Chain A
Amino acid sequence: MNTIQFDPAICAQCETVDCLMRCQYIAFTDVDEAKTEKLAINEGRGSRVLEECLTCYACQEYCPNGNNPFYLLVERQEEQGLLPAPRPIVNEQLKMMAPRGRITKETVCPPVVNMCAFPMLTGCVRGKLFENASVIVGTDIFCNIMWLHFAKNSTIRQRVPRMIDNIMDHYLKDAGIEEMICFHDECYGTYTSLAPAYGIEVPFKPVHLFDYIDRRLDDLADHITPLNVNIAYQRPCSNRLIPETDTILDRIFEKIGANRVPRSYDRDTALCCGGVPRAQQRDDLADELVEANINDMLAVGATYCVFNCPFCMATLADEVAENGLRPILVSDLVQKALGR
């Protein structure tokens, strides 16, 4: 089994313990307490952090040394049998999202857009923005990053290489294509952050949706009608694994005339949408997160609430709409500016 790339010596020298001190959901009396807990985690001992963790991925972004604190935490949770959710909830989802083995070879041509396991969103790939795109989708190419929320690194290790093989063998290899556009942060995070940390080889070049859109908007500059709207962005947990892409999003918003209004819960202080805590049976907390997010969006006078994560959107869309904001995916907002 590949171990998580992690160096305890780096943590030992760390003075700030940002991974825990900056956590929005677990409070520490002082940095010494955080150090103690972190050491316990590192050494595979018990820590309340392992039980209280919301699995928001943020520590992965906060660590200034790239020492994979979150991946390690999940590893420890699984080692110690500390399931964040009840067993049947984890087990049934494991079966639900298991590869079906129904994948068949398809001829694809670039750009190849990976829609992960979400066939209901394939309609998003349309128009000039995605001209001539080939869409690949299904549980047989599911990125499987969701198991980070359920202490299931073992499933990640087992399934991710198989998904990568599927993508290569059924789509990319025969077509001689090296690039694959990841529609979701989850997939891009899997292939560019998680995979190297877990020692999983990725034979293709993942391209983030934002990167693709940003380039397309240069080609389609003449077709853009600036939206001139205020938007609140709901940054998803998986973007914490790939924070460098958030600045590309800023460029996109600028190009389409969407004003990403500064709010309390965006960028490195983004707040969980509330979806995962529900699976963890923490609905009270989920309610609080939903309310805090929406009040924050309303306070800054946004018209749209923009998502890039379909799960965040499913969790928040109804509430957002009930409060008079318009829920929309990044790609659809861009389509709007392109007159689609």
Chain B
Amino acid sequence: MKNLIDRLKKIVGDRHVSAHPEEQYLYAMDQGTMPPARPDAVVLPGSTQEVSEIMKLANAHGVPVVPMGGGLVLSGLTRALNGGLILDMKRMNRILSVNPKSRYAVVEGGASQGMLQAHLKKHHPELKHSMPDAPPIATLAGNVCIHGSGHLSVLGGFHSDMLTGMEVVLPTGEIIRTGSCSVSPDWFARAPLPDVSGLFLGWSGTTGIVTKLGIKLFPRYRYNDILLFVAETADIMPDVISRLTAVQVAEDMTPWITPKPEWAKGFLHINIAYGAHTKRELTFKRNLLQMSVRPYIDSKTAGFLPLPPPQKGRFMNIPSPDLARFADVRKGGGFEYVGAIMAIEHFQEAYEAGLEIAERTGVSYSMGARIIGAGHAMMFFYAYAFNRADPEDMERAQKALEETNAVTLAIGGIPWKAELPAQKQILEKMHPETVALMNRIRETLDPNHIMNPGNWE
């Protein structure tokens, strides 16, 4: 190992490799409930070339490599299950280019959501990208690779749908490109080529390391608004969501259900974000949204709660630190959630299952969803807070998470960025020939099984 560390230092520089117990300790875990797994060393590459050299070295020696972006998945995907190296990609954080006409940006593999947002605000105020609800240091590449979603997901789908191309270092060190940039100097789309991007999306870092990516940008509106729809029963939610998305006006729709504060308990809310270039357009869009659910309003079943401006401002703050604050609910610095990707008609089932689990396990919860596309799917989340200084409390959360994963699969949903146990549950349900194909693909890409081993096995 000493020899390997020296060779890594030659590649990335002395300061950017650590085999100290401190880094081994901290990088062994994330903020969630998965048990720690220590890497032998943490490496901070500064360029694609360096990543390639690291991979060649690791491949030659059969050393496991775990790529890491913000390290904020909460489900333990960046733990070094078999030891080896963690590649913290955040030194590679440049915004390389922005194409304002074709509306895409090309960034390095460790570029953060926050820095792209800031870059666009300053240099291209007419453009924005879809921010996830993760803290701003979360990386674009990491979020795309886990099929993340965010504040423009009704408009543009999963963040992986917004991907226009990638530069990837394979487990064997070759540098490849996917999408239009593999043929053209421009990074405009993944079509019309055979799409190999999928080899790296959703694989939890088991197939390669993304060193550059292109992502779609969208118009930034001058006027922005949010509507808050409130209902008392979950049975109407699929139809309400279907109606609201049918008018194709919202950029983002996020149902939320929380027992705290007390007044919110028992109500189902949907935040609907939309924007416009003029006030007239904004009013027109608001009217479309309101008209779409008119039958519910006329029957007094549900409606829109007027929001005072400060509250509206808080809802429109992207990203919102309020979400991270959920970790302090138990004054214990922890929460984890199951993000269940599923069909929208299962909303009520999903909601009731969440309530049942929360009640039975006694865990502090919050539930909600993000609508993906024009009502094409949703990411229904069950977030459980815990006190990391209290092992019993952590166990309670872990149990709730496990049960929620099982329920999700039973309903017909699929846990997102699944923890190791959930990956196994998914694989058990997956069509066997599909599993076999996944294994053949990995065998081809990663013959020595060095990429984030333990995952999807």
Contacts and interface: CB of A to CB of B under 8 A. Distances in A.
Contact of B283 (A96, A120, A287): A287
Given A96-B263, A275-B306, A281-B303, A87 B286 contact: no
B306 A91 contact: no
Contacts of B308: 314
Interface in A281-300: 281, 283-284, 287
B297 A86 contact: yes
B283 to A, nearest CB: 6
A95 B287 CA distance: 28
B290 A92 contact: no
Contact of A281 (B231, B262, B290, B310): B290
Contacts of B305: 88-89, 92-93, 279
Contacts of B304: 89, 278, 281
Interface in A71-108: 83, 85-89, 91-93, 95-96, 98
A283 to B, nearest CB: 6
B264 interface: yes
Interface in B201-257: 230-232
Interface in B91-130: none
B278 interface: no
Contacts of A281: 290, 297, 303-304
A88 B231 CA distance: 6
A9 to B, nearest CB: 35
Interface string B286-299: 11001000001100
B409 to A, nearest CB: 32
Interface in A144-180: none
A89 B262 CA distance: 15
Contact of B301 (A86, A92, A278, A283): A86
B302 A86 contact: yes
A287 B290 CA distance: 14
A318 interface: yes
B373 to A, nearest CB: 27
Given A86-B230, A95-B265, A283-B290, 12 more contacts: A86-B296, A86-B303, A87-B301, A88-B301, A92-B230, A95-B263, A98-B263, A278-B306, A281-B297, A281-B304, A283-B287, A314-B309
Interface of B: 230-232, 262-265, 267, 283, 286-287, 290, 296-297, 300-306, 308-310
13 contacts: A86-B300, A86-B301, A87-B300, A87-B302, A88-B302, A88-B303, A91-B267, A92-B263, A95-B264, A96-B263, A281-B303, A281-B304, A317-B309
Interface of A: 83, 85-89, 91-93, 95-96, 98, 120, 275, 278-279, 281, 283-284, 287, 314, 317-318
